[in-house]
Amino acid sequence: MSLILRRVSSSIPQVFGFASRSFTSLRLPGESFGSSSSPCLTHGIHVFQCLDSVGIVAKLSDCISSKGGNILGADVFVPENQNFFYSRSEFVFDRVRWPRAQMDEDFLKLSKMFNAKTSIVRVPDLDPKFKIAILVSKQEHCLTDLLHRWQDGRFPIEITCVISNHERGPNTHVIRFLDRNCIPYHYLRTTNENKREKEILDLVKDTDFLVLARYMQIFSSNFLRGYGKDIINIHHGLLPSFRGGHPSKQAFDAGVKLIGATSHFVTEELDAGPIIEQMVERVSHRDNLQSFVQKLENLEKQCLAKAIKSYCELRVLPFEENKTVVF
């Protein structure tokens, strides 16, 4: 699981590698989600993971300040009774005084000094956007929410395509939106015998990560290994667990008082990958089935969007066997 920072010219880098449980370092793609107070300064982000030792914070600070950079904020986490160090730093710098290529070299030296597992630098104004594909089944609430957030510029992403196992007519809201924005839509009818995984892999081979926006199909281990990059999923959290068809109605009929949503990375174990974000909301006897479902769908939309935003801003790091650090 060794990760060493390196410069990458390819537009399809490995990101954090939760699905494959291995790490490949990179120069991450993305765009700015904020701007510095001075037009002469550029915003940068650096995340770091290594064995804990004395002087890491000092060396990180010196790496940035020695080139005239200024740290805007830094988060550090050292787990109790564990010899690990995690950090995320945001800084501004003069790109003339500290060229992008030189920045990579400087953080590479730091990575080698501490034998880092993770050392990732990103300059949102300079680096390309994340390329993603969105997979969806019949329910559209998460998909439409992501499309409108993307249109409003809230995500540093480029949507390469939308893939679905549900056919949509040419005059539907989603298809009209995709056509206006030149985003391809691929309908791949699936069966229990054929999940169309090879065709999906061909369509998403140039993406940086995938988003399952209520895609109601289970990927095989062969697909996960073949893709080899991160996949972010969203699902409801209805307790007690309700299985089978219409879980929302089952939960409503059972009179549950708390509903939730979980966004996580996809692994071979169903709905058990490292959790990125969770949200909950109370419901009561005053809710009817319509308001109950609406509240649940709103949670799913917000939870998935927050997870994608955190991921794109390099706030998510692997922790222990199946957990995450989210700064």
Q: Which residues are the active-site residues? A: 271
Pairing of strands 157-164, 130-136: parallel
Cβ atoms within 10 Å of 38's Cβ, excluding its own: 10
User: Could you give the CA distance from residue 164 to residue 134 in angstroms, rounded to a whole number?
Assistant: 9
Give the DSSP letter string of 139-171: --HHHHHHHHHHHTT-S-EEEEEEEESS---TT
Q: Which of 176, 96, 119, 150 is nearest to 2 (CA)?
A: 119
From residue 56, give the alpha-carbon distance in Å to each of 1, 64, 85, 105. 20, 13, 9, 17
Pairing of strands 185-187, 157-164: parallel
State residue 23 phi and psi, 5-degree precision: -125, 135
Coil/strand/helix, residue 105: helix
* The token pair that represents 87 in the structure block: 């950090």
User: Could you give the CA distance from residue 261 to residue 13 in angstroms, rounded to a whole number?
Assistant: 29
Look up residue 315 and give its DSSP letter. Answer: -
Which residues, other chains included, contact 162 with Cβ-Cβ below 8 Å and sequence gap of 6+?
A: 133, 134, 135, 136, 143, 174, 178, 183, 184, 185, 186
Coil/strand/helix, residue 323: strand
